[in-house]
Amino acid sequence: MAALVFGWSRAAAQLDGQAYDWLFATSQTPGWQARSALLAIDEASLIEMGGARNLRQKLAEVLARVCAAKPLAVAVDLMLSTSEDPKVDAALAAAFAKCPSVVLGADIVRRDSQWEEPIEAFRKVAGALGHVHADPDPVSRRIPLEKAVAAKRYWALALEAFRLSKQAGPILETPEDLEVGITKIPASRATARSVYVNYVPVAIPQVSLKDVANKPESAMAFSGKVVFVGYTDQSAARDRLMTPMGNLMTGVEIHANLYETLQQGAFVTDAPVSLPVLLTLVAVAGAGLIFVFLSGSIAWFVAVGWLMVIHVVPRWLFWNQVFLGPSMLLTGVWLATIVSASFHYFVIRKQWKQSEADKSRYQQAIHFVTHEMKTPLTAIQGSSEIMSRYKLNEEKQKQFAQMIHSESKRLASMIQTFLDVERLAEGEMQLKQDVFALSAVLLSALDRARILSERKDMSMRVGAIPTGQIKGDKELLEYAFYNLLNNAVKYSPEGTGIECSCEIVDGMVRIAIRDQGMGMDAADLKRIFDRFYRSKRAEESGISGTGIGLSIVNEIVKQHEGRIDVQSEVGVGSVFTVILPFMAGAPVDSEIANANQRTITAS
């Protein structure tokens, strides 16, 4: 759509004009034999005859010699609209009468409202009148073959010269073309009957008025040709216009080139309006499909090839005499290629990132297995080794079997928890929507962590737990609280204490776990929830860990529409606060409610 809108804009029209100039300048066919010649009124001729006031007298003398050479027609691009010396005018009229097929020029004046025509004495002996307008825009690429004003119409000077040179009858008109004898000219009424001027590769032969006057034999250069008479000097030629080849040319020369275009039948026509639209759609679709079905370097090579093919299309059409304005087509294919290539790049980049993420998750799973499953596997391995090596009584065997069974269940639960968190993070599993008491999940995690605190002679206290419920996955939240408590015990010195407190703020419950551990600085707090990140102090402490636990906890809390706040000070300790949606005042099990005020103290 952008290409179509731009293709019909004024800027696109200017670009298409420049494209035409380039195509024309690089596509000219050598060896063109000119069938016309210029009788040039140049600087030297004006000087010799004493200026333009003596032009008619000198022109009458020269035309007698030119017409004696039997040209096909004579087209005069001079304004003869006023009477001068009656004798001189009569001599010039007589010279016109002796010439075969004279065409005199007519011009539009007075703000395009009136024709300036030759005087009656000249009109009577002329075979036809033709307009002399080239209408540059700003380059003279095409000329309207008809001009109409004040209820009067004239064909172009070159067209009338062509018709008279062919001794053809009246010009036949259809909405799409003109017919002069057997020649059909593609000049539609919609374009004011304009045609592109196919400028000859070499300059049209010129013989100056001075040369013919001084050297009568030079008039033979006009034999069998159409003669165009007009000013070529710098001062008198008012209509010096730019051509597609980039050089200035007088109006009479441009009309001579128009005659050559008609004579050679070398017509360049505009492509149908539907063609650039159709080609643009094809170009855009092709650019898009390349990146849909191909990838990698092959896609880029094919895309470059497609761009080259589309760029060749306007030139190929021009070689076949059809001009297609390339702005719409090239804008469309370039925009489509850029957009498709960018989309393709980002899709491939996304796939690469997804692949890297999958690889990272796999590595994380391995680290998790190593980190989280070492303890239960060690217990299972040790118990099974004792049972196989020593002869135990039935009671001991039962104890070790229960331990193996318990640790196996714990190991299976760890694996399931980890997999559930990963699937939740990827959107592959819906979070459970169970409703349960906060005290149930929190006290369960505290009971599991108490065993760890007893080994380090640490106290663990919990304040009043609000009466209410949480909605979500009980097992995942228990794992999250247990992991936070486990870290608090792991990174705190022996003999210190851990406190757990709860409060309700704006419908959210805030569960704070405070320790007296090594603490963290501001840089560590920014990355504490990144997977596998461990602070420098944690690494130097010698305490084992992989840095995956807090990232899992953070993901669990986010899945429950909550967040974690962390406050820490080096050498003082840390406070991890889990903030979750809370349904206060909901009924809970009486046994758990009675345990709310319980204080867990290590023995």
Residue by residue, DSSP assigns 379-418 as HHHHHHHHHHHS---HHHHHHHHHHHHHHHHHHHHHHHHH
* Mean of pLDDT values over 363-373: 63
Strands 226-231 and 73-76, by their bridges, are parallel
Q: How many CB atoms lie within 10 A of CB 138?
A: 9
Please check the confidence at residue 57 and state whether its pLDDT lies above 70. yes
The pLDDT of residue 599 is 41
C-beta separation of 257 from 198 below 8 A: yes
Q: How does residue 454 score in pLDDT terms, banded at 50, 70 and 90?
A: confident
Which of these, 265, 210, 256, 257, lies nearest to 233 by C-alpha position?
Answer: 210
Give the Cα separation of 188 and 277 in Å (integer): 21
- pLDDT at site 206: 93
The CA-based diameter of the chain, rounded to the nearest angstrom, is: 153
Residue 269 bridge partners (DSSP): 322
Do 469 and 507 meet the contact criterion of CB atoms below 8 Å apart?
no
pLDDT of residue 263: 93
Among 225, 587, 540, 595, residue whose Cα is nearest residue 436: 587
Q: Is 206 exposed, middle or buried (0-12, 13-18, 19+ CB in 10 A)?
A: middle
Give the DSSP letter of residue 271. P
Banded model confidence at residue 33, pLDDT cuts 50, 70, 90: confident
Torsional class of 11: left (φ above 0), alpha (ψ -120 to 50), beta (otherwise): alpha
The pair of structure tokens assigned to 406 is 């318990």
Query: What are the beta bridge partners of residue 113?
Result: none
- At 340-354, the pLDDT tens digits run 888 888 877 777 777
User: Looking at per-residue confidence, does 369 or 455 come out higher?
Assistant: 455
* Share of the chain residues as helix, strand and coil, in percent rounded to the nearest 5: 50, 20, 30
Computed over every residue of the chain, the mean pLDDT equals: 85
What average pLDDT score do residues 367-396 get?
Answer: 75
Whether 221 contacts 209, CB under 8 Å: no
Above 70 in pLDDT, residue 455? Answer: yes
Instruction: Look at the chain and count its residues.
Output: 603
pLDDT of residue 589 exceeding 80: no
- Give 77-114 as a DSSP string: -S---S---HHHHHHHHHHHHHSSSEEEEEEEETTTTE
Tens-digit pLDDT profile for residues 527-570: 888 866 777 777 777 776 656 778 888 888 998 999 999 999 98
* Per-residue pLDDT tens digits for 515-533: 998 888 888 888 888 866 7
Amino acid identity of residue 405, one-letter, is H
Give the model confidence (pLDDT) of 291-341 as tens digits. Answer: 888 888 898 899 999 999 999 999 999 999 999 999 999 999 999 999 988
Task: Render pLDDT for 124-170 as a digit per residue (tens, 0 to 9).
Answer: 999 999 999 877 667 889 999 999 987 899 999 999 999 999 999 99
Domains delineated in the chain: 33-270 (no CATH), 274-357 (no CATH), 373-424 (1.10.287), 431-594 (3.30.565.10)
pLDDT tier, 370 (very low <50, low <70, confident <90, very high otherwise): low
Q: State the pLDDT confidence band at 79, using cuts at 50, 70 and 90.
A: confident
- The b/e string for 326-344 (b: 16+ C-beta within 10 A; e otherwise) is bbbbbbbbbbbbeebbeeb
Pair of tokens at residue 81: 């609209």
Strand order in the sheet with 172-173: 172-173, 178-180, 183-185
What are the DSSP E strand ranges found in 204-266? Answer: 206-208, 226-231, 241-242, 248-249
Pick from 583, 568, 510: which is nearest to 538 by CA? 568
Q: Residue 603: what pLDDT?
A: 33
pLDDT given for residue 602 in this prediction: 36
316 or 357, higher pLDDT: 316
Task: Name which residue leads in pLDDT, 125 or 426.
Answer: 125
**CA pair distance 560, 549, nearest whole angstrom:** 17
Residue-level pLDDT at 551: 82
What does residue 170 show for φ and ψ, rounded to 5 degrees? -60, 150
Of 74-88, 249-263, 450-464, least confident by mean pLDDT is 450-464
